[in-house]
Amino acid sequence: MKIGLAGYQGSGKSSLFQWLTGVEPDPAKSHVGQSAMAAVPDARLDELAKLYKPKKVTHALIEVTDTPGLSRDQEGNAAKLASIREVDSLVLVVAGYGGADPKEEYQKFYEDLLFADMDLVQRRIDRVKESQKRPLPKEEKERVQFEMDTLQKIFTGLETGNPVPAQALDADELHVLASFRLFTHKSCMVLVNTADDEQDYGRFTGMLGDKIQVLAAPVSLMRELSTMSSEDGQMLIEEMGLKTVERDEIITTMMDVSGQMVFFTAGEDEVRTWLVRKGATALDAAGTIHTDLARGFIRAEVIPVAALIRLGSESAVKAEGLAHSEMKGYQLQDGDSLHIKFSV
């Protein structure tokens, strides 16, 4: 899963990239994008480390991409949009400082993405129309007509400003659209880049209603603070009367919006979080750890981390009857710790 930071040039997305990943933006990659990994915070991992005292503690990582900044005058945007299409989930970074209207910024950027989807779908419609002019076998003719019907359905939604969500499409329709990587089918959140002295981040979070998740943060300030010692940073915050935002909140929201969740593995050697999509099964989790575990899967021993932290040991959890054994189709729950039994 690749999460892309997208916005107009100067929106602050590159500063956000540095704040989240600790990696400085590379000017040489500004036209193609730059990726780095960011650790996913989870306080439960720290609690497990206290219980197991492992040799190693490992946080799950998400891939964050600083996509090429779009030009407001559209110049050179075609290649940049193609780069942005490669990500799986979007964080739209919009300006909320210096008199900028973040809602207007979002709407303009979203329109650019919507029009790009329209152009892509229309070009495919034109090609399909040409293919329909040729004699086709009955089965192929039906397949092409189904593709055309699906494309027309999607185009109509885009044209009216009401894109058909991916969740409203069946498997065959999604198959037709798989290669398009439509912006309007990507999970998305908005981050408002505020002035350094902003005191009320909450005034931005409801600006789009229930339509989309919105967070706000003084990105440039937070990036600067992340490069300072904790003592110097705290001194600056107190002297300037600044109000900060936790990086962990941004990362956690990005993970949630992109449809991901964590599960745990724990033992004396290592305690660790792993990323899987929401709705993943025990077999999916096994494959995430190692392909051999999925290939030779027998069962998953499941312990709820909340119970483990509360009771203090695996034996206590088992004594309470809270541990359970599951087969490969078991759907993971938030906070599951797994031990995979397998044989290869």
Whether residue 263 is predicted with pLDDT greater than 90 in this model: the reply is: yes
- Within its chain, how far is the Cα of 283 from the centroid? 22
Give the DSSP per-residue string, 189-203. Answer: EEEEEE-TT---THH
* pLDDT tens for each residue of 189-213: 999 999 999 999 999 999 998 889 9
**Residues counted in the chain:** 344
Per the CB < 8 A criterion, the answer to whether 93 and 6 are in contact is yes
Question: Looking at residue 76, what is its pLDDT?
Answer: 85
Look over the chain and give the mean of its residue pLDDT values, rounded to a whole number: 95
Tokens of 298: 């027998």
Exposure letters 111-122 (e unless 16+ CB within 10 A, then b): ebbbebbbebbe
Banded pLDDT at 253 (limits 50, 70, 90):
very high
Q: What is the pTM of this model?
A: 0.91
Query: In terms of DSSP bridges, do strands 260-266 and 270-277 run parallel, antiparallel, or are they unpaired?
Result: antiparallel
Distance separating alpha carbons of residues 117 and 85, to the nearest angstrom: 10
Enter the DSSP assignment of 12: S
Q: Which residues pair with 153 in a beta bridge?
A: none
Residue showing tokens 């559209």: 74
Distance separating alpha carbons of residues 186 and 85, to the nearest angstrom: 9
Contacts of 279 (CB under 8 A, 6+ apart): 331
Per the CB < 8 A criterion, the answer to whether 337 and 304 are in contact is yes
Pick the more confident residue, 306 or 210.
306
Residue-range domain boundaries for the chain: 279-342
Query: In terms of DSSP bridges, do strands 2-6 and 89-96 run parallel, antiparallel, or are they unpaired?
Result: parallel
Q: Phi and psi (nearest 5°) for 308?
A: -65, -45
**Average pLDDT for 247-269:** 96
Domain over 279-342 is classified CATH 3.10.20.30 = yes
**Average pLDDT for 87-103:** 95
Whether residue 270 is predicted with pLDDT greater than 90 in this model: the reply is: yes
Banded pLDDT at 344 (limits 50, 70, 90):
confident
Per the CB < 8 A criterion, the answer to whether 169 and 239 are in contact is no
Q: Phi and psi (nearest 5°) for 136?
A: -130, 150
With CA atoms as reference, report the closest residue to 124 among 49, 180, 167, 72. Answer: 180
Whether residue 167 is predicted with pLDDT greater than 90 in this model: the reply is: no
Distance separating alpha carbons of residues 132 and 130, to the nearest angstrom: 5
